[in-house]
Amino acid sequence: MSNSRIISPVSVSLLCLFLLCCSASHAPRGWLPNPDEVPFRAQGGWVQITRTSGPDLGGELIAIGRDTVYLADEEFHVVSKADVISARLARYDSNAGDLGGYAFLGTVSTISNGFVLIFTAPVWIVGGLTAMGFQHNMPLITCEICDFSKLSPYARFPAGLPDGINRSQIRMSPGGI
C-alpha cells in the first residue's frame, strides 16, 4: 500500500476534524473570553435564541426577568419567555481548534512510524475528534423548553435587570475587554 493511499483518507479525516471545530458558537470571532478570563469580565455569555415567531436572535445575555429575556447585539432586544423554543449559551471560548492542531501534528508525526502508521494515524484522528467534541461542548448550555434559571448566572445582570436602568443605552459588550 502506497503512502498516498494512506495519506488521502487521513487528509479527509483531518478536514472533517477542522470543520467540526468551526461550529462552536455564533458569537463574533474573539468576543468570547478564554476560560481563565471569565471571572474578570463583566459581560454576559453569548446566547442564541430560537423563537416561535420572528427570526432567531443572538447576542450578549443581559438579564432574565420573570417572563422576559433581555439580550443585546447592536440593539437591545426584549423576548418573551413564552416565545422561546430553545436557547444555547456559550460561556467562554472552548479553544477546541487548538486540540485540532495537536491532533493534526500527532497524525503527521505518525509518518515516522512506517507501516505501523495504518494503526497509529487513525488513533490520533479518532482521539483528536473525540477530544475536540468534548472540548467544543464544555462551555455550552443548551435548553429546549428552557429552564432559564440555568442561564441566569451567565447574564451581565444575574439578579435581573436593575430598576431605573436606561434600556436605550444597553449594547453588547465589546469583545476582548
Interval 95-121 mean pLDDT: 83
Question: Has residue 70 been placed in a domain?
Answer: yes
Number of domains in the chain: 2
Q: What is the pLDDT of residues 80-105, one digit of tens each?
A: 888 888 888 887 777 777 778 888 88
Question: Has residue 166 been placed in a domain?
Answer: no
What does the alpha-carbon distance between residue 71 and residue 80 come to, in Å, rounded to a whole number? 11
Q: What is the pTM of this model?
A: 0.68
21 pLDDT band, cuts 50/70/90, is: very low
Residues 144 and 88 in one domain: yes
The β-bridge partners of 143 are 87
What does the alpha-carbon distance between residue 124 and residue 126 come to, in Å, rounded to a whole number? 6
Residues 82 and 49 in one domain: yes
Question: Has residue 56 been placed in a domain?
Answer: yes
Q: What is the pLDDT of residues 145-174, one digit of tens each?
A: 667 888 888 888 888 888 888 888 787 777
Average pLDDT, the chain: 78
Residues 82 and 145 in one domain: yes
Q: What is the pLDDT of residues 45-83, one digit of tens each?
A: 888 888 888 888 888 889 988 888 999 888 889 998 888
Higher pLDDT, 34 or 125: 125
Residues 55 and 113 in one domain: no
**Cα 149 off chain centre by:** 20
CATH of the domain at 155: 2.30.30.100
Question: Domain residues for 153?
Answer: 42-93+140-161
The CA angle 176-63-28, to the nearest 5 degrees, is 30
